[in-house]
Amino acid sequence: MQAVSRSNFDLSSSPYMPPSQSNNQLPQQFSFTVEAKGLRLDQFLALQFPAISLTRLRTAIKQGDARLNGRTTFSGWIVQVGDQITIQLDPDAPTSAMPEKIPLEVLFEDEDLLIVNKPVGLLSHPSHKEKSGTLMNAIAYHLLHSPKRPTSVPRPILLHRLDRDTSGVIALAKTERANRIVSKAFRERRVKKHYLALVHGVVMEETGTIDAPIGHNPQTWPRWGVYETGDASQTNFTVKQRFAQHTLMELEPLTGRTHQLRIHCTHIGHPIVGDQVYKGEEKTGLQSIPGFRLKHQLLHAHLLAFRHPSTGEEMRFIAPMPTAMVEAIQQLSHG
Active site residues: 163
Question: What Rg do the C-alpha atoms of the chain give, in angstroms?
Answer: 20
* Secondary structure letter of residue 81 according to DSSP: T
How many other CB atoms sit within 10 Å of the CB of residue 223?
13
Q: State how far Cα 68 lies from the chain centre.
A: 26
Strands 314-318 and 2-4: parallel
* Rounded-to-integer distance, Cα 305 and Cα 273, Å: 26
* Rounded-to-integer distance, Cα 72 and Cα 87, Å: 10
181 phi, psi to nearest 5 deg: -70, -45
* Rounded-to-integer distance, Cα 203 and Cα 69, Å: 46
Which of 271, 175, 297, 195 has its CA nearest to residue 238?
195
Which of 150, 272, 136 has its CA nearest to residue 199?
272
Residues in contact with 168: Cβ distance below 8 Å, sequence separation at least 6, in sequence order = 117, 118, 162, 195, 300, 301, 302, 319
Write b or e for each residue in 104-138: b if 16 or more Cβ atoms lie within 10 A of its Cβ, otherwise e: bbbbbbeebbbbbbbbbebbbbbeeeeeeebbbbb
